[in-house]
Chains A and B, each alone.
Chain A
Amino acid sequence: MSAPLTRAEAEELLYREALLIDSRRWDEWLAMFCDDIEFHMPAWRDETTLTQDPDRELSLIYYRGRRNLEDRVMRATSGLSTASTPLPRAVHAVTNVLVLAADRKEAHVSACFTCHRFDVRFGRAEVFFGRYDYRLRHEGGAWKIARKTIILLNDTIPTVADIFSV
């Protein structure tokens, strides 16, 4: 039986996720998610309110099931997507990691992020920033991501924002 998740463990997990995605280690990144991952980036209803219910309101990204993330990775690496070829260079800086609740089975973690993206084709750099809300689950001897909510604060999207730049 595991112990409740500590902040050090939460930081380790989030920093590792950032490293894997920034270094394009897709299979290792996908392995961090539970099969039934809920991956959600809500849209904004208006200037101050996020959409809440993904079945009745629009999200920027909403997937239930890791299979959908595998599709996104397949698209991004297929060489068949103009928008993804070559992939932009990106680095995620994850900060303000807090364990809001944790027991031996589950944990609720909050964090902030910035993602700097450099589009090598057009020679331009952009930044996305916001907050993460994670639900982690202890599964098969390791903490995995059961739900990831991305609150994108600067939501006027310059051309494209893929799963690896938020």
Chain B
Amino acid sequence: MRISDFIDDRPAEGIFRVHRKVFTDPAIFEMEMRHLFQGGWIFLGLAAQAPEPHDYFTTYAGRVPILVQCDGEGVRRAFVNSCPHKGARLAQSRCGNARMHVCPYHSWSFDSSGRNRAIKWKAAGAYAPAFDSDSHDLAPIARFDEYRGFLFGSLAADVPDLADYLGEARKLLDLVADQSEEGLELVPGQVTFTFRANWKLQLENCSDAYHFTSAHPSYIRILERRQQEACDDVVASVFENSDYWKEETKGIGGGSFSFANGHVLNWGVFGVTPALPLYERAQDLADRHGEGKRDWMFAMRNLTIFPNLQVAENASSQLRILRPLAPDLTEMQTWCIAPKGESAAARRQRIRQYEDFFNPTGMATPDDTVSYENCQIGFAGLVEPWLQGYGRGIAASVAGGNRFGDKIALEPARSVLAESQLCDETLYHSYYRAWASRLAPEFPA
């Protein structure tokens, strides 16, 4: 097997195809675990999830349980959340505050900087002298770093510095982080859901402008009804106040940017509209950051930091962590992300818009996730194994950026400017090129 048996990437011929087995093959899934989720930078959480001394939260890097712990001086570290004694998961809760973690199995204890503080009945334990030559501290993960409150870790040491890994996509995280001088927070209330399909369907769907009018007509119909029969009981959606996505809209309304290492953005123009909770800060943000950057904060933006973080700012603002559990099973941890210090009215608007669109109990996300499951079923058909969903925009994709990105000095690897019906698919190429380069060690050259 060669990597080209899975990703058929021939730019000179205008061909980019992905093989269905990429989504179904258990051996491929194991490679992804090794090289992507347990072998490179992944998003762990926000600094705001452990803001104070001794705060912690738990998460996963692939299958590996992770403890992100703040010590007494406010220094955050990331450890494998597993007792060195017998391997038991140490911290049991999603988040909390602990000066000490005591393993519930045999009471080995660790302080908030990860140091072993006590081994129960050590003196009476008749250990050989060699035992003392081993560290009994929690195992730190190989790399841990932060960008603007976004915490990332890597179980592999041999990775570029985080700043280099994120590259130009840092400027897109800035657009999220700079919405408040006080920074970001997660609105209390985490929503977790699963779907029985491959994680890369979520990766793609976030960047997929093509599906909106096809997968969400029931939501669009409700927006129309709310516009026609306005009343105070219903929340206004930014989509009903915007035209960029409608099929009859002409002119450049958005596009996509692709970056090194698999990060991508698709975007559309919402404009500075009161349908966005950020509206109350519109002038302040322009004063602080300039109108160009302010306008970008008001644009529809779906950002993926490869492989497991998505920040979707469209109907509301969502932070998602993708966690693959099996080739055909994925867990999504989702939060409403918000600038600190916004008014009560803006926060209420943000939350209502969020529940309406993003929740698995809402009116849009289920129509996506059920479609992923339909894809997963369809992937079994290998009569024609190459998927045709990567061709839109090939003839429009150009190296470098454009006049829109120039407003925040954005220098992407490639970009597409789009009318509403173009719906670029070349931004997925960035995912699969990063994927292929990371999995390459598994395949002969």
Give the interface of A toward B (CB within 8 A).
41-47, 51, 54-65, 67-68, 71-72, 74-75, 78, 80-84, 122, 155-163, 166
Contacts and interface: CB of A to CB of B under 8 A. Distances in A.
Given A64-B233, A80-B218, A83-B366, A54 B351 contact: yes
B10 interface: no
A105 to B, nearest CB: 23
Given A65-B233, A80-B218, A157-B361, A58 B188 contact: yes
- B354, B361, B363: which has the most chain A beta carbons within 10 Å? B361
A161 B369 CA distance: 12
B174 to A, nearest CB: 25
A63 B94 CA distance: 28
Contacts of B226: 71
Contacts of A63: 233
Contacts of A155: 191-192
B398 interface: no
B193 A159 contact: yes
A45 B348 CA distance: 17
29 contacts: A44-B190, A47-B93, A55-B344, A55-B347, A55-B351, A56-B344, A57-B189, A58-B187, A58-B188, A58-B189, A59-B351, A60-B359, A61-B355, A62-B351, A64-B233, A65-B232, A67-B234, A71-B222, A74-B225, A75-B221, A78-B221, A80-B217, A81-B366, A81-B367, A82-B367, A82-B374, A122-B373, A122-B377, A157-B193
B361 A162 contact: yes
Nearest to A81: B218
Contacts of B335: 58
A122 B196 contact: yes
Contacts of B192: 155-157
Contacts of B363: 71-72, 75, 81
Given A43-B190, A45-B188, A58-B187, A75 B351 contact: no
Contacts, number: 145
B210 interface: no
Nearest to A165: B361
A61 B347 CA distance: 16
Contact of B355 (A60, A78, A81, A82): A60
Interface string B333-371: 001100000001001100110110001111101110111
B94 A160 contact: no
Interface in B84-124: 93-95
Q: How large is the interface on B (under 10, 10 to 19, 20 to 34, 35 or more residues)?
A: 35 or more
Contact of B218 (A51, A84, A161): A84
Nearest to A78: B218
Contacts of B371: 82
B227 to A, nearest CB: 13
Contacts of B94: 46-47
Nearest to B370: A83
Nearest to A57: B188
A160 B366 contact: yes
Contact of A158 (B187, B193, B218): B193
Contact of B231 (A43, A54, A65, A156): A65
Contacts of A122: 196, 373, 377
B194 interface: yes
Contacts of A44: 189-190
Interface of B: 93-95, 187-196, 215, 217-219, 221-222, 225-226, 231-234, 331, 335-336, 344, 347-348, 351-352, 354-355, 359-363, 365-367, 369-371, 373-374, 377
A166 B369 CA distance: 19
Contacts of A161: 360-361
A157 B95 contact: no
B70 to A, nearest CB: 17
B197 to A, nearest CB: 9
A162 B351 contact: no
A62 B234 CA distance: 11
A148 B187 CA distance: 23
Contact of B369 (A78, A80, A160): A160
A160 B221 CA distance: 20
Given A78-B217, A82-B370, A157-B191, 9 more contacts: A57-B351, A59-B351, A59-B355, A68-B234, A71-B363, A122-B377, A155-B192, A157-B361, A159-B195
B354 to A, nearest CB: 7
Given A42-B189, A60-B359, A83 B367 contact: yes
- A44, A51, A57, A82: which has the most chain B beta carbons within 10 Å? A82
Nearest to B352: A62
Nearest to B361: A60
Contacts of A56: 187-188, 344, 347-348, 351
A160 B368 CA distance: 10
A51 B355 contact: no
A3 to B, nearest CB: 32
Nearest to B333: A156
B192 to A, nearest CB: 5
Nearest to B359: A60
